[in-house]
Amino acid sequence: MLVASGYVETNEEAEVPAVMAAFKLDNIEVTDTQGEKILFLIERDTTKQLKTVLESLKDVNGVRTISLAYYSLECSDEEKNEPLTVS
């Protein structure tokens, strides 16, 4: 299982419930909220699935910024020089 965590900032605090609802539809766990910030945890089976979800965060209505704090990669215990790039 691959994981990514971080937080998003909403345009205003009133948009937090709608963004959280959108995350729930995409099976993104909300671990905490602090004002306009929503802390999230994403778990997926493949790097491709994880990357797709991370890239979709920018399209959630109400999200102003995205900050990624941690992510794991397939074969992360092996030497591999293929970083995860999010466009």
**pLDDT classification of 69: cutoffs 50, 70, 90:** very high
Q: Where are the alpha helices (DSSP H) in the chain?
A: 16-25, 47-56
Domain 2-71 has CATH 3.30.70.920: yes
Q: What is the pTM of this model?
A: 0.82
> Radius of gyration (Cα) for the chain, nearest Å?
13
pLDDT band at 76 (very low <50, low <70, confident <90, very high): low
pLDDT for 84: 62
Span 41-54, pLDDT tens digits: 999 999 899 999 99
Encoded tokens for 58: 């920018």
C-alpha to C-alpha distance for 29 and 59, rounded to whole angstroms: 17
Residue 25 neighbours by CB under 8 Å, 6+ apart:
none
What span, in angstroms and rounded, lies between the C-alpha atoms of 75 and 31? 26
